[in-house]
Amino acid sequence: MRTAMRRTFSTVSPRVANFNAGPAAMPLPVLEEAQKDLVNWKGCGMSVMEMSHRSKEYSSIHDKAIEDLTELMSIPDNYKVIFMQGGASTQFASVPLNLLGEDGTGDYLVTGSWSKGCAAEGARLGNANVVSSSADNNFTKIHDKSTWNLTPGAKYLSYCDNETVHGVEFAAPPDVEADLVADMSSNFISKPVDVSKFGLIYAGAQKNVGPSGVTVVIAREDLLGNAKATCPKMLDYKIHADKNSLYNTAPCFSIYMAGLVFAYNRSLGGLGAISEINKEKAGILYSQIADSDFFHSPVDPSCQSLMNVPFRIGQGGGNDEVEAKFIKEASAAGMVGLKGHRSVGGCRASIYNSVSLDNVKDLVAFMQKFELDNK
């Protein structure tokens, strides 16, 4: 007779200060709400992970998430909120397949790793014109608009509003005649955005919105229904919009978590209030770096990201051994995720909405002590 296997779980340790770039920190009240309802959502007898995506229980979750995001971002009536899968990288293909038509040209701004990959995918699927690339300055500064090689009559201008790897963020949307298409994965719902200035916005969830698995797309209605004949149905915006993002089995649990985040952010006073906190956090961290000759920011102050702060440590602009020591000791002190992206090295603090002001103050205090001990 087989005996039941028993599994023991360790006691949960205190939560760390999470500076990971993604998947990233989430609001503790959201996690606790999900924990409370994990096994039995609102008394229905099952978890969200077990529900049919066609059920009335899940429909209420799905529709509320769209409603809360619409209110949070003041999304105009002539835009559709679409939940898709495949991350922002899949949108690199979806955009040209849906918006270029058979012979249109898409303009691309290249300001870092993600917009570079986006432009390369666009070139595989249609006419892609790189209007400007800041590769010549190692993606540390955005070139002035006067130098851009814009295409007359372009279907869109694609750009990444915040480059997660290089820590470059646009202070304002580019002012061009073409429809703006923005990858906002790493600064989505971090500040107020005038959605009416964009043709399309997309964002992978795993930075500011929730767990990975869902990508939020906000599309102006007149751009829907123009997909190329070769566009797969799973990448056709109109198909998903017409089916309320339920053409196939949706990433239900990820949408549920995103919905909790949207509602939580509304309870904090909305994006205006959240933006002020984010500015304060970034200001404290950048001031510490600027006031030191031991820590160095590679990014021009005109475009320093409020979400992702890369920095180097050591005399002369960066010392791999010293940076490794910093990351190790910071982790031991309860501050994780400070290693820079593998493509650029160094250190990086991702200070998304759910990273608290106290977390940033603790990091700055640790940086000050580390400098005294290691300079």
Spatial distance between the Cα atoms of 296 and 306, rounded to a whole number of angstroms: 16
> What residues have CB less than 8 Å from 75, skipping those under 6 apart?
69, 81, 195, 218
Spatial distance between the Cα atoms of 164 and 22, rounded to a whole number of angstroms: 9
As given in the structure block, the two tokens for residue 43 are 């008394």
Burial track 146-182 (b if 16+ CB lie within 10 A, e otherwise): eeeebbeebbbbbbbbbbbbbbbbbeeebebebbbbb
Which of 80, 155, 207, 228 does the annotation list as catalytic? 207
Which of 161, 183, 228, 281 does the annotation list as catalytic? 183
End-to-end CA, the chain: 66
> What residues have CB less than 8 Å from 226, skipping those under 6 apart?
98, 99, 101
Q: What are phi and psi of 312, to 5 degrees?
A: -110, 160
- In the annotation, is 148 catalytic? no
Spatial distance between the Cα atoms of 256 and 93, rounded to a whole number of angstroms: 26
Which of 80, 114, 161, 179 does the annotation list as catalytic? 114
- In the annotation, is 114 catalytic? yes
Cite the active site residues.
114, 183, 207
